[in-house]
Structure 1
């Protein structure tokens, strides 16, 4: 009799121990293994990119999966770098500040281990992807460039007569407000390009009135 009881106990232990479910007597229900919820990025316009190279202070080459493309930073413009053929189209100190902007962007990218988030806005006339870029701290790189005097607010406006660069949604409106405020602070501090007396010494053929 004892052998039969021992055998029955062993059988029941194996049977119930092998089950992935158990009955919760307190709550009168069957508990299953909890599934870890999958977080999905609801912003379909934002992707993770790896920066391959820096072209200048507002342009870079990015890699997304196996795809490579050029990214133009949205809403800002940094001075032009010296290239073959544009020697006569640069302001007095333009290449100097262009190199500073390029180096600054390079440092920001390196600090994020070359991995950024890119929020796609549109394509420009050169088929480049125009984006808002975020670093590893989720800070906006476009804004950092402006607030530290490496570039100006450009190719973006709240002027309804300028359809091409008019802000179109909440994200763009908030971004525009932030970079305009950042530019004003840089002007007041007279840092970077704003330390020069004449705007035309930094940007060729431009006046100080920007979008």
Structure 2
């Protein structure tokens, strides 16, 4: 279980990535964002509240784990926090290279560094990678003399994270512990986040083993029992 009450959003940089297949390009920030306390608290809520699942993953690579790009760049940040900005650019470039599916939307990419983010009772450092692809329209109402004025503005709903992942500085030898959400993409276009960009597979833990057992039982009931009776 992920508990965020004591988490500190230590660093944040924002880039913007487009669809490579449509040649939309990529835009880099020149430096990390300076946050006040109010914005920091809102971002922690926006980034972390969707992570309620008990399913975790590990990075992998068919040849060598160190060749997994997100694993490699994340390990470099954990080893040398001073390389945070440089490796945020590397992560953004890697995401852009994976964004060729025609349904991949452009959006802001948030690379963050958390301290004291709790995973199963252990306070850990973690890297967060989040992408906002959808905008919503908000109304702004404010006094204007003896009347009120209404204006509209497009922005991000902090209650609806589009997609993101948390990479915990734990179990490095197995590919770190990774949590991921994708609330926007469906079908084949969703694969670019999990399979192409992150390249993760389910962690071999109690949740995974229970799921495997339930799947075997379900398959037996649906396939074998009808043959018996």
Note whether the superposition's TM-score is higher than 0.5: no
| Structure 1 length-normalised TM | 0.27
Q: Which has the higher contact order (CA 8 A, sep 6+)?
A: 2
Larger radius of gyration: 1
Task: Name the one with the larger strand percent.
Answer: 2
Provide TM-score, normalisation by structure 2.
0.26
